[in-house]
Amino acid sequence: MSQTTPSSSRVIVVGGGLAGLSAAHTVLERGGTVTVLDKKPSFGGNSVKASSGINGADTPAQRALDIKDSVKDFIADTTISAGDLARPQLIETLTSNSAPALEWLSTSFSVDLSLVSRLGGHAIPRTHRGKGGAPGWAMTSALIKKLEKAAAETPEKATLVKGAKVVGLVREGERVTGVEYQVGEKTERVTGTVILSTGGYAADFSSTGFLSSYRPDLLELPTTNGDHSTGDGHRLATSVSASLIDMDQVQVHPTGFIDPANPDAKTKFLAAEALRGVGGLLVDGKGRRFVNEVERRDFVTEKMQEVIAAGDGPVRLILNEESYQELKAHCDFYISKGLMKSFANVAELAQTTGVSGAQLRETFTSHGEYASGKQPDPFGKQHFRNSTYDTETPIYVALMTPVVHYTMGGISISPTAQVLDASGKPIAGLFAAGEVIGGVHGKNRLGGSSLLEAVVFGRVAGESASK
């Protein structure tokens, strides 16, 4: 084993997703020295895949679009969604730092967040994205670029090590003083204060994994997560007596794409919630709606599972031309991957798939009546967008399955991102941020709140570790 012992004022960030990148930049902004280690050959984690956007309340983009929002409203939505596992202090940290987090992304990294949409469970549109590529990619690539520049220009301040799997925490007495990591055949050690930002465990399907331990009922489902999402940070934390909370709280997202060319693939592309936010409809195998498409994820998933269990599947997502145009870049990507297909009209869809054309006509007509307020939607939908579905114009259609997507459970932390033991005492020298932490979202995470969690708690952890 080779040993390096750099300055003890160094902060070691384990995981180069959005949480780790946000923490690393914050350490540099505070004048500190940082080492970022990631087990993969490139940074980005699941953050790079995020497709709907990032939440912020009372932002310049909302004001420009005349959307009235407040931290109080965001707290209310998050608290309802979190249910009886809501933790007010963590929710306060998440929401009150949301507008400053988005401003930081825009001003320090020139990330465009000028478009705002409403995702399920939000009373107000507050999920931000830009006009270019997918929001996760836009954010992570901007932060990676600036970090790589810092590492190239001031190597004494910033060290980035890819392909470096952290396998242990080093301790002196009760204090965490560094990490051990494997790079190729070698084991290395680096000294400093540690921030864990290794993401969640939504791909930890092994027989000894967290899903087997806490949610064996989900083992048969596919996942949207990269294969790095195996709960490494959780295990590192418990090796120094950290407490894990809410580990059985796993978010199953209602809409993963079933690829007709590979329907049994364990890893699925996510059908961004924004597809329903811009007006997409969910229908059963006969073409009947069965849910308010913009309800919370846990609710939509439950209704989809009922449809599938009753033998009324498969479930399809249908977009009209206006919805397609609003998310054209996303849809064109899905079409290029063979996940979404365009049909000239309802008749063509019915002919190719066996969905009842007459039923779909009826579904479209009644949806129009609910949208225009002629009748209330029997499923309770109140916020309609691009609601005119015409049987003679093109539609865009994809097969959907529920997918394991996000893990609400994780490492117990204080609002200042200190890792806590079972008695609630901070473990000296150890912080955590991003999906690896538990408790921020309680029972259900709202769409757009995980990228926010990564940036907000990444910055908080970076600041706390710098002190």
Ligand X SMILES: Cc1cc2nc3c(=O)[nH]c(=O)nc-3n(C[C@H](O)[C@H](O)[C@H](O)COP(=O)(O)OP(=O)(O)OC[C@H]3O[C@@H](n4cnc5c(N)ncnc54)[C@H](O)[C@@H]3O)c2cc1C
Mask 187-226, x = binds ligand X (CB under 6 A)? Answer: ----------xxx------------------------xx-
- Residues 262-301, one symbol each (x = binds ligand X by CB under 6 A, - = not), give --------x-------------------------------
Residue 428 host element (H or E): strand 426-432
d(Cα 73, Cα 127) in Å, to the nearest integer?
Answer: 14
Cis, bond preceding 41 (omega within 30 deg of 0): no
Q: Where are the beta strands (DSSP E) in 291-389?
A: 315-319, 341-343
Cβ contacts of 343 within 8 Å, gap of 6 or more:
349, 352, 394, 395, 396, 397
Specify the stretch interacting with ligand X by CB under 6 A; choose among 102-110, 170-178, 387-395, 446-454. Answer: 446-454
Handedness of CA 165, 407, 206, 399 (dihedral sign): negative
Number of residues that bind ligand X (CB under 6 A): 41
Query: Least separation, in Å, of the C-beta of 376 and ligand X?
Result: 30
Residues 269, 284 contacting (CB under 8 angstroms):
no
Residue 326 Cβ, how far from ligand X at the closest point, in Å? Answer: 16
Judged by CB under 6 A, the residue of 11, 13, 18, 247 near ligand X is: 18
Short-list 257, 263, 411, 242, CA closest to 339: 257
Q: Compose the 360-379 pattern: x for residues touching ligand X by CB under 6 A, - for all others.
A: --------------------
Q: Is 32 in the site for ligand X (CB under 6 A)?
A: no
Q: In angstroms, rounded to a whole number, what is the distance separating the alpha carbons of residues 255 and 273?
A: 8
Nearest to 18 by CA among 36, 42, 38, 43: 43
What is the residue whose two structure tokens read 């365009």?
342
Residue 417 CA to residue 15 CA, distance in Å, equals: 16
The binder of ligand X chosen from 10, 25, 39, 128 (CB under 6 A): 39
Choose which of 435, 442, 460, 465 interacts with ligand X (CB under 6 A): 435
Residue span 400-429 as binding mask against ligand X, x where in contact by CB under 6 A, dash where not: ------x-----------------------
Asked if 235 is part of the footprint of ligand X (rule: CB under 6 A), the reply reads no
Query: Binder to ligand X among 6, 30, 49, 335 (CB under 6 A)?
Result: 49
* Residue 33 binds ligand X (CB under 6 A): no
- Residue 253 annotated to the active site: yes
C-beta of 407: minimal distance to ligand X in Å? Answer: 8
Q: Which of 116, 448, 459, 466 lies at the binding interface for ligand X (CB under 6 A)? A: 448
Helix (H, G, I), strand (E, B) or coil at 161: strand
User: Considering only residues 11, 13, 15, 318, which one is a binding residue for ligand X as defined by CB under 6 A?
Assistant: 15
The interface with ligand X within residues 90-149 (CB under 6 A) comprises: 136
Q: Does 37 contact ligand X by CB under 6 A?
A: yes
* Shortest separation between residue 452's beta carbon and ligand X, angstroms: 6
In this structure, are residues 83 and 443 in contact, taking their beta carbons and an 8 Å threshold? yes
DSSP SS3 for 180: strand
CB of residue 17 vs ligand X: minimum separation in angstroms? 2
Tell me whether residue 291 or residue 454 sits nearer to ligand X (CB atom): 454
Question: CB neighbours (10 Å) of residue 299?
Answer: 15
Q: How many CB atoms lie within 10 A of CB 248?
A: 14
From the CB of 268, what's the least distance to ligand X, in Å? 9
Minimum Å gap between C-beta 274 and ligand X is 8
Stretch that binds ligand X, among 47-55, 72-80, 298-306, 342-350 (CB under 6 A): 47-55
For the bound state, the minimum distance from the C-beta of residue 83 to ligand X, rounded and expressed in Å, comes to 19
Local structure of 240: helix, strand or coil: coil
- Which residue of the set 118, 215, 276, 289 is catalytic? 276
CA end-to-end distance (rounded Å), the chain: 30
Phi, psi of 3 (to 5 degrees): -130, 135
Interface with ligand X (CB under 6 A), residue from 33, 38, 246, 411: 38
CA atoms within 13 A on the CB side of 372: 9
Q: Which is nearer to ligand X, 33 or 197 (CB)?
A: 197
Contact status: 78 vs ligand X (CB under 6 A): no
| CA distances from residue 135 to 226, 274, 286 in whole angstroms, order as listed | 17, 11, 34
Pick the piece of the chain touching ligand X (CB under 6 A) from 50-58, 298-306, 339-347, 355-363.
Answer: 50-58
Tokens of 87: 């933790």
Which of 29, 30, 40, 388 touches ligand X (CB under 6 A)? 40
Taking Cα atoms as reference points, which of 199, 189, 86, 200 lies closest to residue 444?
A: 86
Query: Which of residues 16, 192, 222, 442 is near ligand X by CB under 6 A?
Result: 16
- Of 18, 23, 19, 2, whose CA–CA distance to 10 is shortest? 23
Longest Cα separation, the chain: 73
CA dihedral over 202, 450, 106, 418, signed as positive or negative: negative
* Binding positions for ligand X, rule: CB under 6 A: 14-20, 37-40, 43, 45-47, 49-54, 136, 165-166, 197-199, 224-225, 228, 232, 270, 406, 434-436, 448-451, 454
Active site positions, annotated: 253, 276
